[in-house]
C-alpha cells in the first residue's frame, strides 16, 4: 500500500425522473453537486450523517459503481470509475468493498453462507487451494469474534441478524480493501452487538489501515467512531470537520437543530424547551434550488440565504459549513475560484 | 428456500408433481401398453375389434365406432398431446425467459418497450388466429403446431418472470455480486436463476398446459390442424358420433378425465409453490 | 400507594413454530399505576412486543396465551381480566379504556382510506357518536398532535413517517382511554421527528393525565420520557425501577451492561464494552438464570435455579419506590412475593 | 411547456388519465399490427383457398377467369405490396369503418354481421364474466377469512381442482346433464324463434332461459378461478399491520373484512380482470359453438369454414378493440379504488 489511493467526488449529482415522478411535474434531486475526497493515507473513518431521504445511500451506491450519477464525476486515482477497463477495473473492485444495511438481504438464500467467502477468494485470487483459503476464512472469523463452527456450512436463514452482519465484516477483513463503504450497517442491530460492530470498525482502521466511509442517521454512532464527520441534508453537504468539532460545536443551524434533537440517555438531562416543527406534506416544493435549502426553518435566515446557494465557509481550522453566517461566497463563485487555482 | 425444503413443506406440490409424473410415465411407455393390449395385432387398426364394446377384462375402456381399443387410443393420444404441449411450453418458456430477464434486468426504456409488447400479445385473442391458421394450413407437422401455439402463450411466461426478476434484482446480494466483480451473465445464471427455478419449472408446466388446452379446443370444434390421434380428437369424435347417447361413455370420459387430472396437477403445483414461496403467505401460515 | 391500573400476573405467551415451541413471554409479573409512563426495554427478541400484544389480546395463531392473568381496573367500569373475558366484552373495553399505537405505524394506516375515516370508524364503533359528530372531533384531535385540519382529507401515502405516527397517536387518544400502549413509537423516525413524538407522548401524561406504556429498545427514549422502566430479557422481567435508579444505579448485571453500551454524544470518548455472546433463542432458553451465559458476575447458583423477581428493601439507599430485581446477587431479604397475591377483586 | 407540467402536477388524475389513454392507443395500434402481420404471413393464400373450395363445389372453372381472382384480391385489399395492404387495412378499420364484403351473406359488408353478433357476445360474455368476478371475490374473501374451517378448506380444494378446467368441458357436461338428461334448459340458440326480437317480456324470458346454460359454464369456472386468486391475495393481507390495527380498534369483523382487507384486494383483482377478458373470449368462442349461440364466436367458426377473410379479420379486430376499451375504462376507474394508483402507474 505504498502510494496513497484516492476516491474523489467532483460535483456529483443524481436526479430521478420519469414514471410517477414526471406526474409530480419535474424531477427529484437526490444528490445536488456533492464534492469530497476519501484518501487511504492516512487511513481515517469518515462518517456521513443525514436524515432518511438526504441522499446519503445514493452517494454510497454511486461510489460503489452500482449507480451512474446524472452529473459530475467519481474518480479513483484520477480515472473515472465508470470508464475503468481491465486491470484498472479489477484494482478498483479489489480496493473498494461494501458493507450493506439489511443483514437479511445480503445472502442469496439459495446458497450456504460459505459462498460469501469463496466467491471473492476465486474472483480476486486471494488464496490458491482449499486449505489456504480455509485458513484465511478462519483468521477473519477470529477478528469478528465468530466461531466458524457456528456459521460455516449453514444457510442464511439459520443465522441471527448480528451473526450475519459479522459475517459481512469477516468478508471485508479477509479482502482487506483500501476503502470500506458502509451504508447504515448498524441501524438494524441491537445496542450490544452494535457496539461490538463499531469496535471492529475501529480495529480495521488502527490495525489494517482501512479507510471507511460510514453512513448513518445516528449522531451518537458518528461521535463514537470519531475521525471526520460530514452532515448531509436534502442532497447537499452542509457541514464538515473533525467529529468532536461538528458534533459538540456544530456550526450550521441544521446541524445544531439535529444535535439538539438527540435524546440524552440521562434522566437528569431532559429537554426543557419545546420545539415546533412545521411539517411539509409530500407535495412539490416549488421554490428554485439555487438557495440555502434550510432557509424555511432557519432561525438566523438572512436575505442572502434565499438568493444563492452558500459555499463551504471556514469556521475554524479543518471545520467548514455551508452557511452565510461564516462568509459571503456563493457556491458558484467558490467553484469557479477552485477551478482557476 | 432450498428445493429439498420446498418439497418437504408443501403437500400440494408433491401431489401435483406425482400426478404429472405418472402421466409422463404412461406416455413414455405407451408403445408397450399398446402391444400388451393388442397381443400381436395393432389395437388401433380399424376393425381390430367389434365396435362399441363395453369395458371388459380385455378392453378396460371398451372400443369405439371403428372397433379400436380406447385404452390404447387414450394412451397414444396422451403421448401426442403431451408431446405438442411440452414442445410449445418449452418454446414459450424460452422466449418468456429471454424477454422476462432482459426486461426485468435491464430496466428503463428496454423494460417499458418489452412490457408494452407483452401486453399487446396478451390482449390479442389467440384462439381465432389459431383457428384461422389451422384452417388455412392443412396437415402440418407437430413441430409447426407447437410453434403456432407458442406465438400466443409466451407472454404469460414473460410477465411472471419479469415480475420475479424485478423483485429479485433490487436485493442487496445482487449489489454484493457486482462488488465481487461478477459480470451480468454470471449474476443472472448464478444469483437469479437458482432462486427462480421453482417458478421456471411451474411456468413451463403452465405454458405447456395452456398449449394443450388451446390445441384441444381447436380439435373439439373439428378444426384441429394435424390428423394425429390425440385427446382433443377423441372428444371431437365423442361429440360428433353422439357416443353419450349410445351409452359408450368411455370415449368421452377417458380423455376428459385425463385432461382434468392434468389441469388439477399443474394447479396444485401452482398453489403449493405460491404458498411456500411467498414469504408473506408463509408468515401467516406459521411456518 | 398510587392507584393500580393494570396487573399482569404470571403471563405466558407461546408460539408453535415449525422448529418447535417458542416461549416468547415466560411468566411475566408487572403492575402499572395510574398517571405514570412505564417504559418496557430490552433487546429485540426478548418478548416485549409480544407482551404488549398479549395485553391488547392481539396474539394471533400460531401464537397463543399459555396462562396468566391481565386485570385492568378502569376508573368507572368494573375491572376485567382481558385474557379470559368474552370477546364482546373485550371489544367494548377496546379504545374506550385501552388503546394502542402500533409498532409499524408506517403501514398501520389503511392505505385506501382517508385519515378522517380512520378516526371515525374507531369512534363510532365504541361510542354513540354519529359519523358526522365523529368527523367534527377530528380537527381538534389532530391539533393536539401538532397537525393541521387539512390532514383529515388526505390519504396515508401523502404523509411523511412522522405525520403518520402522530395520526396514530391522535387516533389512540380519540376516546380519552385510561391506558395507551405505544409499541416502538420512535423507531425508524428521523431525529427531529423523534423528538416531536417524545414531546407529544409526554404531553399526554402531563396535560391529559393519561397512563402510557412505552415499548422500545432505545434506552435514550426511556430516559427522556418514562417515570419507571422495566427491563426485559429472554421472555421475563429482570429489573423494574424508577428511571433515575435504572440509569444511575442499575442493579441487574444485564441492565448495567445495557446502560453501559449506549454511545453518548459529547463527553470523553472511551471504548464501550457491549455484551458478549448472542441473544438466547426463545426455542431453548438457557437453564437457571437466563443471563448466565453472558453475565460477568455469574455464580454457581445462577446455573441451577432461576432467581425470582423480588423487591429489594429500600431502607439501605431509599430513593423512591423500591427497585425490583431478579438476580442471585441480591439474596431474598423479606421473602414477600411481588404481585402473586392479587388485590382482592369485588366479584 | 413547463407551465403544463406544473399544472399536471396539481391535477394528478388528469395526468394519469392522459398517460393511460396514450398507452391504450399504442397497445391498440400494436395489437392490430400484430394481427395484420399474422394474417399476411400465414402459409397459403386465402383467396386461393376460397376459390379452391368453390371449385370443389363445382361453381367456378378457376383457370378460365384469372381476373375474377384479381377482382377478389382487390376487393379484399390483398393487392399491392405489404405496406399498401396495411394502409388499406387501417383505412378500412378506422376511417371508412367498412370492413369490405363478407362471404357469409355476400355482398353485405363484414361489419354488419359482426355488429349484429356483438351484443350477444357482450351480453353473454360480459355479464357472466362480471358476475363470476363479483361472486368469486366475495367467496374468496370469505374463504380467506374463515381459512381453517372445514367447509372453507373444502371449497378451496374443490376450486383448486376445477378452476382451470376449460369452459367447454363444463359446457359439455352441462349439456349432457341439464339439457339432455333432465332437459330443464334448451341447449341451443339464443332465444325461442316463436318470439320475434323486441322489447316484450317473454322475449327476454326466453333469452334468459336459453342463455342460462352457456352463461353457467362460464360462470362456474370463472367463480372458482377468482375465488382462488382472491384467497391467495387476501390471506397475506390478513397479516398486514393495518389489519391488526383495525382489530385493536375493536372494529366488528365484518367491517374489518370489507373496508380493510377487501378494499386492498380490489386493485390487483380488477386489473387482473381486465387482462383476463382476452382469455375469456377464447373460451367463449367454444361455448358459443357448442350451444350455437349467435355471438362473435360462432360467427367466427362459420366464417373460417368458408374462408371468409374479411369477417375473421373484422372479428379479431373488434375483440381487440372491445377488450382494450374495457381495460382502459378499468384503468380510469382504478384511482377510485386505490388513491395510490395516480402515483406509481
Does any CB of chain A come closer than 8 Å to the CB of residue B4? no
Q: Is the complex ipTM higher than 0.85?
A: no
pLDDT at A280: 47
Q: How many Å lie between the alpha carbon of C108 and the closest alpha carbon of chain B?
A: 16
Question: How many CB atoms within 10 Å of residue D225?
Answer: 22
- What is the mean predicted confidence (pLDDT) over D68-80? 69
In this predicted model, what pLDDT tens digit does every residue of D326-335 receive, in sequence order?
888 988 888 8
3-state SS, residue A45: strand
> Which one of D2, D15, D20 would you mutate to disrupt binding with A, by most A Cβ within 10 Å of its Cβ?
D15
Going from the C-alpha of B21 to that of each of B13, B265, C345, the distances in angstroms are 12, 10, 66
Q: Which of C311-323 are b and which e, b meaning 16 or more Cβ less than 10 Å from the residue's Cβ?
A: bbeeeeeeeebbb
Looking at the structure, tell me whether residues D10 and D89 fall in a common domain.
yes
Closest residue, chain D, to A18 (C-alpha) = D344
Q: Which residue of C has its CA nearest to A264?
A: C220
Greatest mean pLDDT among A229-233, B69-73, C122-126 lies in: A229-233
pLDDT of residue B286: 33
We report the CATH number of the domain holding residue D189 as 1.10.3720.10
pLDDT of A286: 44
pLDDT class of C162 with cuts at 50, 70, 90: confident
Is D105 a member of any domain?
A: no
Mean pLDDT of the region B4-32:
83
Residue D194: the pLDDT is 72
- Give a yes or no: residue D102 inside a domain: no
Question: Is residue C229 very low, low, confident or very high in pLDDT (cuts 50, 70, 90)?
Answer: very high
How would you class B141 by CB atoms within 10 Å of its CB: exposed for 0-12, middle for 13-18, buried for 19 or more? exposed
Strands C179-183 and C98-101: parallel
Band the pLDDT of C339: cuts 50, 70, 90.
very low
User: What band does A214 get if pLDDT is binned at 50, 70 and 90?
Assistant: very high
Among D28, D63, D95, the domain-final residue is D95
Identify whether D107 is part of a domain: no
Asked whether residue D177 falls in the same domain as residue D42, the answer is no
A288 touches chain D (CB under 8 A): no
Q: Does A162 touch chain C (CB under 8 A)?
A: yes
Helix ranges (DSSP H) in chain C: 48-55, 87-93, 115-126, 131-144, 161-172, 191-208, 219-225, 243-248, 253-260, 300-304
More confident call, C1 vs A313? A313
Lowest mean pLDDT among B46-50, B144-148, B174-178, D66-70: D66-70
Please tell me what DSSP assigns to residue C179: E
Q: Which chains touch A (3 or more CB pairs under 8 A)?
A: B, C, D
Whether chain D has a CB inside 8 Å of the CB on B131: the answer is: yes
Cβ separation of D249 and C95 shorter than 8 Å? yes
pLDDT tens profile A170-196? 888 888 889 999 998 887 777 777 888
Which residues of chain C are within 8 Å of residue D247 when distances are taken between CB atoms? 58
Mean pLDDT: which of A54-63, C39-48, D103-112 is highest?
A54-63
**Rounded distance between C-alpha atoms, residue A166 and residue A143, angstroms:** 10
Which chain B residues are closer than 8 Å to C18 by Cβ? 9, 286-287
Q: HSE-up of C159 (CA within 13 Å, CB side)? A: 27
What's the pLDDT at D133? Answer: 93
**List of chain D residues whose C-beta atoms are within 8 Å of the C-beta of residue C103:** 241
Same domain, D187 and D304: yes
The pLDDT of residue B165: 86
Instruction: Please report which confidence band the pLDDT of residue C344 belongs to, taking 50, 70 and 90 as the band edges.
Output: very low
The residue of chain C with its CA nearest to that of D253 is C91
Residue of A nearest to D5 (CA): A25
* Whether the Cβ atoms of residue B265 and residue B82 lie closer than 8 Å to each other: no
Is D201 contained in some domain? yes
Check whether residue D79 and residue D191 sit in a common domain.
Answer: no
Q: What distance in Å separates the CA atoms of residue D40 and residue D36, rounded to the nearest whole number? A: 6
Joined together, the cell numbers standing for residue C207 give: 396535560
- Shared domain check, D195 and D55: no
Instruction: Inspect the interface and report whether the beta carbons of C111 and D340 lie closer than 8 Å.
Output: yes
Contacts 24+ apart (CB under 8 A), B254-257: B254/B61, B254/B70, B254/B71, B254/B74, B255/B74, B255/B77, B255/B231, B256/D169, B256/D172
> Nearest-CA distance from D19 to chain A in Å?
9
pLDDT in tens, A116-169: 889 888 888 888 888 888 898 898 888 888 888 888 888 887 887 778 888 888
Which of A19, A23, A26 is opposite residue D12, by nearest beta carbon?
A23
d(CA B143, CA D43): 15
Q: Give the model's confidence band at C213: pLDDT under 50 very low, under 70 low, under 90 confident, else very high.
A: very high
pLDDT band of C230, cuts 50, 70, 90? very high
List CB contacts (< 8 A) between B9 and chain C: 18
Per-residue pLDDT at D295: 83
Residue contact C244–A264, C-beta within 8 A = no
Pairing mode of beta strands C179-183, C20-33: unpaired
Average pLDDT of span C46-72: 87
Whether pLDDT at C181 is above 90: yes
Q: Say whether residue D19 is in contact with chain A using an 8 A CB cutoff.
A: yes
Domain residue spans in chain C? 98-176
Interface of D with C in 229-258 (CB under 8 A): 240-242, 244-252, 255
Give the distance from residue C232's alpha carbon to the nearest chain D alpha carbon, in angstroms. Answer: 24
For residues D309 and D208, membership in a common domain is answered with yes
Residues D83, D168: one domain?
Answer: no
Does the pLDDT value for residue B285 go beyond 60?
no
Average pLDDT across chain A, whole number? 83
Cα R_g (chain C), whole angstroms: 21
Record the pTM: 0.79
C-alpha A189: how far from its chain's center? 17
What is the mean pLDDT of the segment spanning C293-298?
Answer: 82
Picking from B172, B191, B195, the nearest residue to A106 by CB comes out as B172
Number of domains in chain D: 2
What's the confidence (pLDDT) of residue D298?
Answer: 83
Instruction: Give per-residue pLDDT as tens, B61-102.
Output: 777 788 788 888 888 888 888 888 888 889 998 998 889 888
- Are the C-beta atoms of C171 and C94 separated by less than 8 Å? no
Q: How far apart are CA C155 and CA D341, in angstroms?
A: 12
Q: Does domain A6-248 have CATH number 3.40.50.300?
A: yes
Rounded CA separation C136/C155 (Å):
18
Residue C253 has pLDDT above 90, yes or no: no
pLDDT at C320: 52
- Which domain covers residue D141, as residue numbers? 113-337
**Secondary structure of chain B: what % helix, strand, coil (to 5)?**
75, 0, 25
CA nearest A175 in B: which residue?
B180
User: Closest-CA residue in chain D for C109?
Assistant: D242
D343 contacts A20? CB cut-off 8 A:
yes
Q: What pLDDT does residue C334 have?
A: 46
CB atoms within 10 A of CB A144: 20
Answer positive or negative: Cα dihedral of C130, C133, C138, C144.
negative
User: Is B176:A123 a contact under the CB 8 Å cutoff?
Assistant: no
Is D118 domain-assigned? yes
Amino acid at each position: 500500500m505504498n502510494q496513497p489511493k484516492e476516491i474523489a467526488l467532483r460535483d456529483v449529482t443524481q436526479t430521478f425522473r420519469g414514471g410517477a415522478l414526471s406526474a409530480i411535474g419535474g424531477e427529484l434531486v437526490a444528490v445536488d453537486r456533492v464534492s469530497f475526497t476519501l484518501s487511504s493515507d492516512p487511513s481515517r473513518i469518515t462518517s456521513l450523517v443525514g436524515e432518511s431521504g438526504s441522499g446519503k445511500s445514493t452517494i454510497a451506491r454511486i461510489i460503489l459503481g452500482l449507480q451512474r450519477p446524472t452529473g459530475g464525476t467519481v474518480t479513483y486515482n484520477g480515472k473515472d470509475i465508470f470508464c475503468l477497463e481491465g486491470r484498472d477495473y479489477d484494482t478498483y473492485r479489489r480496493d473498494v468493498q461494501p458493507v450493506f444495511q439489511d443483514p437479511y438481504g445480503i445472502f442469496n438464500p439459495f446458497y450456504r453462507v460459505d459462498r460469501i467467502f469463496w466467491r471473492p477468494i476465486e474472483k480476486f485470487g486471494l488464496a490458491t487451494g482449499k486449505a489456504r483459503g480455509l485458513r484465511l476464512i478462519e483468521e477473519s472469523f477470529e477478528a469478528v469474534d465468530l466461531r466458524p463452527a457456528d456459521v460455516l456450512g449453514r444457510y442464511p436463514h439459520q443465522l441471527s441478524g448480528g451473526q450475519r452482519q459479522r459475517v459481512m465484516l469477516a468478508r471485508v477483513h479477509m479482502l482487506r480493501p483500501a476503502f470500506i463503504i458502509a451504508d447504515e450497517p448498524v441501524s438494524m442491530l441491537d445496542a450490544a452487538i452494535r457496539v461490538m460492530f463499531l469496535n471492529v470498525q475501529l480495529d480495521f482502521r488502527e490495525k489494517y489501515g482501512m479507510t471507511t466511509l460510514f453512513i448513518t442517521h445516528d449522531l451518537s454512532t458518528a461521535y463514537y467512531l470519531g475521525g471526520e464527520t460530514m452532515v448531509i441534508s436534502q442532497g447537499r453537504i452542509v457541514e464538515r470537520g473533525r467529529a468532536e468539532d461538528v458534533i459538540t460545536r456544530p456550526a450550521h443551524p441544521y446541524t445544531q437543530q439535529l444535535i439538539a434533537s438527540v435524546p440524552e440517555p440521562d434522566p437528569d438531562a431532559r429537554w426543557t424547551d419545546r420545539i415546533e416543527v412545521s411539517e411539509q406534506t409530500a407535495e412539490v416544493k416549488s421554490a428554485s434550488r439555487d438557495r440555502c435549502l434550510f432557509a424555511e426553518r432557519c432561525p438566523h435566515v438572512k436575505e442572502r440565504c434565499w438568493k444563492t446557494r452558500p459555499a463551504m465557509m471556514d469556521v475554524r481550522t479543518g471545520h467548514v459549513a455551508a452557511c452565510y453566517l461564516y462568509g459571503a461566497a456563493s457556491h458558484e463563485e467558490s467553484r469557479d475560484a477552485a477551478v482557476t487555482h | 428456500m432450498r428445493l429439498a425444503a420446498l418439497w418437504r413443506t408443501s403437500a400440494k406440490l408433491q401431489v401435483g408433481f406425482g400426478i404429472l409424473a405418472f402421466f409422463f410415465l404412461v406416455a413414455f411407455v405407451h408403445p408397450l401398453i399398446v402391444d400388451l393390449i393388442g397381443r400381436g395385432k395393432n389395437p388401433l387398426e380399424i376393425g381390430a375389434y367389434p365396435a362399441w364394446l363395453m369395458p371388459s377384462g380385455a378392453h378396460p375402456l371398451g372400443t369405439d365406432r371403428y372397433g379400436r381399443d380406447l385404452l390404447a387410443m387414450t394412451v397414444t393420444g396422451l403421448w401426442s398431446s403431451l408431446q405438442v404441449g411440452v414442445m410449445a411450453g418449452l418454446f414459450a418458456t424460452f422466449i418468456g425467459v429471454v424477454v422476462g430477464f432482459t426486461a426485468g434486468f435491464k430496466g428503463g426504456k428496454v423494460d417499458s418497450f418489452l412490457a408494452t409488447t407483452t401486453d399487446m400479445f396478451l390482449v390479442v385473442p389467440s384462439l381465432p388466429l389459431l383457428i384461422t391458421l389451422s384452417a388455412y394450413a392443412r396437415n402440418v407437422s407437430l413441430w409447426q403446431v407447437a410453434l403456432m401455439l407458442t406465438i400466443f402463450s409466451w407472454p404469460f411466461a414473460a410477465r411472471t418472470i419479469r415480475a420475479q426478476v424485478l423483485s429479485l434484482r433490487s436485493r442487496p446480494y445482487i449489489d454484493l455480486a457486482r462488488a465481487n466483480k461478477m459480470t451480468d451473465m454470471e449474476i443472472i445464471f448464478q444469483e437469479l436463476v437458482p432462486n427462480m427455478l421453482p417458478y421456471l419449472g411451474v411456468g413451463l408446466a403452465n405454458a405447456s398446459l395452456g398449449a394443450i388446452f388451446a390445441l384441444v379446443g381447436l380439435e373439439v370444434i373439428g378444426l384441429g390442424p394435424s390428423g394425429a390421434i390425440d385427446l382433443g380428437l377423441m372428444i371431437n369424435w365423442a361429440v360428433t358420433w353422439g357416443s353419450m347417447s349410445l351409452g359408450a361413455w368411455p370415449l368421452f370420459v377417458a380423455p376428459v378425465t385425463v385432461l382434468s387430472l392434468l389441469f388439477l396437477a399443474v394447479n396444485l403445483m401452482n398453489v403449493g409453490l405460491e404458498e411456500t414461496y411467498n414469504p408473506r403467505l408463509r408468515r401467516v401460515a406459521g411456518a | 400507594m398510587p392507584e393500580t391500573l393494570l396487573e399482569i400476573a404470571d403471563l405466558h405467551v407461546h408460539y408453535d413454530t415449525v422448529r418447535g415451541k417458542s416461549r416468547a413471554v415466560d411468566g411475566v409479573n408487572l403492575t402499572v399505576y395510574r398517571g405514570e409512563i412505564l417504559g418496557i426495554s430490552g433487546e429485540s427478541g426478548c418478548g416485549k412486543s409480544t407482551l404488549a400484544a398479549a395485553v391488547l389480546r392481539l396474539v394471533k395463531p400460531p401464537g397463543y396465551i399459555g396462562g396468566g392473568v391481565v386485570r385492568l381496573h378502569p376508573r368507572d367500569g368494573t375491572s376485567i381480566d382481558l385474557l379470559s373475558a368474552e370477546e364482546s366484552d373485550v371489544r367494548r373495553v377496546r379504545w374506550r379504556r385501552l388503546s394502542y399505537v402500533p409498532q409499524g405505524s408506517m403501514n398501520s394506516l389503511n392505505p385506501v382510506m382517508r385519515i378522517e375515516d380512520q378516526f371515525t370508524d374507531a369512534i363510532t364503533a365504541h361510542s354513540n357518536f354519529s359519523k358526522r359528530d365523529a368527523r367534527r372531533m377530528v380537527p381538534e384531535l389532530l391539533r393536539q398532535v401538532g397537525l393541521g385540519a387539512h390532514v383529515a382529507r388526505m390519504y396515508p401515502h401523502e404523509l411523511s413517517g412522522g405525520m403518520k405516527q402522530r395520526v396514530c397517536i391522535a387516533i389512540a387518544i380519540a376516546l380519552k382511554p385510561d391506558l395507551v400502549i405505544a409499541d416502538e413509537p420512535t423507531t425508524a423516525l428521523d431525529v427531529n421527528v423523534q423528538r416531536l413524538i417524545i414531546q407529544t407522548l409526554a404531553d399526554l401524561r402531563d396535560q391529559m393525565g393519561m397512563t402510557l406504556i412505552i415499548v422500545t429498545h432505545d434506552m435514550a427514549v426511556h430516559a427522556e420520557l418514562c417515570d419507571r422502566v422495566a427491563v426485559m430479557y429472554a421472555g421475563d422481567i429482570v429489573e423494574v425501577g424508577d428511571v433515575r435508579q435504572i440509569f444511575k444505579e442499575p442493579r441487574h448485571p444485564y441492565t448495567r451492561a445495557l446502560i453501559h453500551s449506549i454511545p453518548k454524544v459529547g463527553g470523553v470518548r472511551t471504548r464501550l464494552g457491549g455484551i458478549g455472546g448472542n441473544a438466547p433463542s426463545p426455542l431453548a432458553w438457557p437453564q437457571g438464570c437466563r443471563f448466565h451465559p453472558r453475565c460477568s458476575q455469574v455464580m454457581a447458583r445462577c446455573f441451577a435455579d432461576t432467581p425470582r423477581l423480588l423487591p429489594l428493601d429500600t431502607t439501605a439507599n431509599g430513593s423512591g419506590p423500591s427497585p425490583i430485581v431478579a438476580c442471585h446477587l441480591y439474596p431474598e431479604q423479606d421473602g414477600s412475593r411481588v404481585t402473586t397475591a392479587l388485590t382482592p377483586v369485588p366479584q | 411547456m413547463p407551465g403544463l407540467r406544473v399544472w399536471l402536477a396539481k391535477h394528478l388524475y388528469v395526468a394519469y388519465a392522459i398517460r393511460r389513454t396514450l398507452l391504450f392507443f399504442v397497445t391498440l395500434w400494436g395489437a392490430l399490427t400484430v394481427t395484420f402481420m399474422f394474417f399476411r404471413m400465414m402459409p397459403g393464400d386465402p383467396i386461393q383457398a376460397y376459390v379452391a373450395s368453390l371449385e370443389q363445389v363445382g361453381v367456378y372453372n378457376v383457370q378460365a377467369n384469372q381476373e375474377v381472382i384479381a377482382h377478389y384480391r382487390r376487393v379484399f385489399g390483398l393487392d399491392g405490396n405489404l405496406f399498401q395492404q396495411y394502409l388499406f387495412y387501417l383505412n378500412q378499420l378506422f376511417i371508412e369503418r367498412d370492413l369490405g364484403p363478407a362471404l357469409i351473406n355476400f355482398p353485405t359488408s363484414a361489419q354488419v354481421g359482426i355488429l349484429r353478433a356483438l351484443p350477444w357476445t357482450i351480453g353473454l360474455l360480459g355479464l357472466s364474466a362480471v358476475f363470476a368476478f363479483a361472486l368469486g371475490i366475495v367467496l374468496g374473501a370469505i374463504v380467506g377469512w374463515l381459512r381453517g374451517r372445514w367447509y372453507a378448506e373444502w371449497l378451496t380444494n374443490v376450486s383448486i381442482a376445477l378452476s382451470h378446467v376449460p369452459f367447454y368441458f363444463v359446457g359439455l357436461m352441462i349439456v349432457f346433464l341439464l339439457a339432455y338428461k333432465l332437459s330443464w334448459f334448451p341447449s341451443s340458440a339464443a332465444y325461442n324463434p316463436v318470439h320475434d326480437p323486441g322489447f316484450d317480456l317473454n322475449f327476454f324470458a326466453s333469452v334468459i332461459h336459453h342463455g342460462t346454460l352457456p352463461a353457467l359454464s362460464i360462470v362456474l369456472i370463472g367463480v372458482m378461478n377468482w375465488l382462488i386468486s382472491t384467497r391467495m391475495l387476501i390471506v397475506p393481507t390478513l397479516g398486514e399491520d393495518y389489519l391488526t390495527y383495525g382489530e385493536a380498534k375493536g372494529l366488528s369483523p365484518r367491517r374489518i373484512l370489507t373496508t380493510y382487507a377487501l378494499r386492498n384486494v380490489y386493485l390487483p383483482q380488477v386489473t387482473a380482470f381486465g387482462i383476463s377478458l382476452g382469455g375469456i373470449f377464447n373460451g367463449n368462442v367454444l361455448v358459443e359453438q357448442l350451444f350455437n349461440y349467435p355471438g362473435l364466436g360462432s360467427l367466427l367458426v362459420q366464417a373460417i369454414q368458408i374462408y371468409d377473410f374479411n369477417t375473421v379479420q373484422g372479428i379479431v379486430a373488434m375483440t381487440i378493440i372491445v377488450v382494450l376499451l374495457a381495460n382502459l375504462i378499468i384503468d380510469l376507474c382504478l384511482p377510485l379504488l386505490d388513491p395510490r394508483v395516480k402515483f406509481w402507474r
